[in-house]
């Protein structure tokens, strides 16, 4: 029955201390949240700690969530983003990720593999706001208005952040046929 | 629209043509894409780059993460001796400290007033004995 409930309906139950509803909510969103956090901080243990802390806050501060004000996923990703920013400020997060080049299709050229390694590096050098906007829109497939809600920003500002991030990636990796 | 502004348009709106806006700029971008080999090359290179971005940002599978979160939620926080010390001894002690200090200060000030009073009495007695000595003379 709970599997058919909306996030909002489950959250109302979580607000009453219902652990089963919390489990269902977590099951629905933990992978996507972990992927997002990992892509932001690129650290295995830090990203798992942040995800744990984010869900702990969902549980302990459930009553602060107001259904009509913000979508549950927006609220959850806002919590996780704030935790990531805190870690960046304290500079405790250290990059420890490595790319599994075997994931790239066999048909890929060595040039593609070089590009993947370079992209990985350049994305980490992007400012936090550009990286967040790029990850949510380009990788997670969120609309610009959804990204704007999580970032507490405007659609125009998000569009500009994404454009700057893409331009930086292109120019640093010298992917620009207009120059040829 | 030229190729530079086409590239800028792709930066802002992405490589998925179905998501491009139906504005004048969007129509011009679609038109250029139909007519220009270079525009098609630009879009192709961008698509390839952002496909590779997904590989560059691949995510490891978080083993046992759900169970760890559930355990943290359902298990009450461990209370060690420092918690006990803080909640049962330290906090009441901090509350009582001003009271105790006030009591001690009060006691000290009472003692000194008695001492001063004794001193005054002794002086008065000396004065009296001086007067007696004068009258004897």
What pLDDT does residue B57 have?
Answer: 82
User: A60-97: buried (b, 16+ CB within 10 Å) or exposed (e) per residue?
Assistant: eebeebeeeeebbbbbbbbbbbebbeebeeeeebeeeb
Residue of B10, B11, B15 best to disrupt the A interface, most CBs of A under 10 A: B11
- Decide: B66 and A27 in contact? Cβ < 8 Å: yes
Whether residue A159 lies within 8 A of chain B, CB to CB, comes out as yes
Whether residue B60 lies within 8 A of chain A, CB to CB, comes out as yes
Classify B22 as helix, strand or coil. Answer: coil
Of B4, B59, B65, the CB nearest to A178: B4
Query: Nearest C-alpha of chain A: how many angstroms from B19?
Result: 10
Please name which of A121, A112, A103, A131 lies closest in space to residue A36, comparing C-alpha atoms.
Answer: A131
CA count, 13 A, side-chain hemisphere, A178: 15
Of A39, A138, A167, the CB nearest to B59: A39
Mapped to the 3 state alphabet, what secondary structure does chain A carry? Answer: CHHHCCHHHHHHHHHCCCHHHHHHHHHHHHHHHHHHHHHHHCCHHHHHHHHHHHHHHHHHCHHHCCCCCCCHHHHHHHHHHHHHHHHHHHCCCCCCCCCCHHHCCCCCCHHHHHHHHHHHHHHHHCCHHHHHHHHHHHHCCCCHHHHHHHCCCCHHHHHHHHHHHHHHHHHHCCCCHHHC
Chain A neighbors of B65, CB-CB under 8 A: 30, 34, 48, 51-52
Of B49, B68, B74, the CB nearest to A173: B49
Query: Nearest C-alpha of chain B: how many angstroms from A54?
Result: 10
pLDDT by residue (tens digit) across A13-56? 999 988 899 999 999 999 999 999 998 887 888 899 999 999 99
Classify B43 as helix, strand or coil. Answer: helix
Q: How confident is the model at residue B118 (pLDDT cuts 50, 70, 90)?
A: low
pLDDT of B117 over the 70 cut: no
Please name which of A48, A22, A45 lies closest in space to residue A34, comparing C-alpha atoms.
Answer: A48
The set of residues, in sequence order, having a beta carbon less than 8 Å from that of A172 and lying 6+ positions away, is A118, A122
Interface contact flag, A99 B56, Cβ < 8 Å: yes
Interface contact flag, B62 A139, Cβ < 8 Å: no
What pLDDT does residue B81 have?
Answer: 66
Interface contact flag, A22 B60, Cβ < 8 Å: no
What pLDDT does residue B90 have?
Answer: 75
Interface contact flag, A177 B50, Cβ < 8 Å: no
- Decide: A95 and B28 in contact? Cβ < 8 Å: no
Q: How confident is the model at residue B110 (pLDDT cuts 50, 70, 90)?
A: low
Whether residue B54 lies within 8 A of chain A, CB to CB, comes out as yes
Q: How confident is the model at residue A160 (pLDDT cuts 50, 70, 90)?
A: very high
Chain B, nearest residue to A99 by Cα:
B56
Share of chain A above pLDDT 70, in %: 85
What pLDDT does residue A180 have?
Answer: 46
Whether residue A166 lies within 8 A of chain B, CB to CB, comes out as yes
Interface contact flag, B12 A159, Cβ < 8 Å: yes
Interface contact flag, A170 B68, Cβ < 8 Å: no
Chain B neighbors of A145, CB-CB under 8 A: none
Catalogue all structural domains in chain A, each as residue range(s) with its CATH number.
2-90 (1.10.1740.10), 101-174 (1.10.10.10)
Interface contact flag, B52 A119, Cβ < 8 Å: yes
- The residues spanned by each domain of chain B are 3-56, 80-136
- Computed over every residue of chain A, the mean pLDDT equals 84
pLDDT by residue (tens digit) across A55-97? 999 999 999 998 888 899 999 999 999 998 888 777 655 555 5
Distances A10 to A15, A27, A62, A75 between C-alpha atoms, Å: 9, 12, 11, 14
pLDDT by residue (tens digit) across B53-94? 888 887 888 888 989 998 888 776 666 666 666 767 777 788
Helix axes A44-60, A19-41, angle to 10 degrees: 150
Classify B6 as helix, strand or coil. Answer: helix
What pLDDT does residue A1 have?
Answer: 46
């Amino acid at each position: 029955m709970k599997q058919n409930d909306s996030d909002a309906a489950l959250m109302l139950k979580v607000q009453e201390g219902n652990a089963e509803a919390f489990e269902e909510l977590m099951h629905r969103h933990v992978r996507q949240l972990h992927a997002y956090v990992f892509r932001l901080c690129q650290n295995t243990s830090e990203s798992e700690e942040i995800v744990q802390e984010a869900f702990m806050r969902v549980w302990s501060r459930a009553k602060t969530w107001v259904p009509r004000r913000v979508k549950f996923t927006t609220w959850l990703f806002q919590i996780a983003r704030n935790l990531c920013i805190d870690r960046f400020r304290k500079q405790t997060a250290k990059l420890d990720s490595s790319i599994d080049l075997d994931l790239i299709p066999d048909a890929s050229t060595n040039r593609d593999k070089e590009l993947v390694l370079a992209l990985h590096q350049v994305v980490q050098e992007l400012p936090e706001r550009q990286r967040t906007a790029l990850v949510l829109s380009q990788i997670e497939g969120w609309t610009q208005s959804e990204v704007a809600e999580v970032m507490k920003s405007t659609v125009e500002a998000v569009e500009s952040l994404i454009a700057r991030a893409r331009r930086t990636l292109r120019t640093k990796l010298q992917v620009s046929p207009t120059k040829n | 629209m030229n190729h530079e502004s086409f590239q800028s348009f792709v930066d802002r709106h992405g490589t998925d043509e179905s998501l491009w806006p139906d504005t004048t700029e969007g129509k011009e971008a679609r038109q250029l894409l139909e007519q220009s080999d270079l525009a098609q090359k630009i879009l192709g290179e961008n698509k390839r780059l952002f496909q590779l971005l997904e590989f560059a940002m691949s995510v490891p599978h978080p083993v046992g993460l759900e169970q760890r979160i559930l355990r943290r939620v359902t298990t009450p926080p461990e209370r060690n001796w420092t918690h006990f010390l803080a909640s049962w001894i330290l906090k009441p002690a901090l509350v009582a400290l001003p009271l105790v200090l006030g009591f001690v200060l009060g006691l000290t000030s009472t003692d000194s007033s008695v001492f001063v009073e004794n001193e005054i009495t002794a002086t008065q007695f000396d004065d009296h004995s001086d007067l007696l000595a004068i009258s004897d003379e």
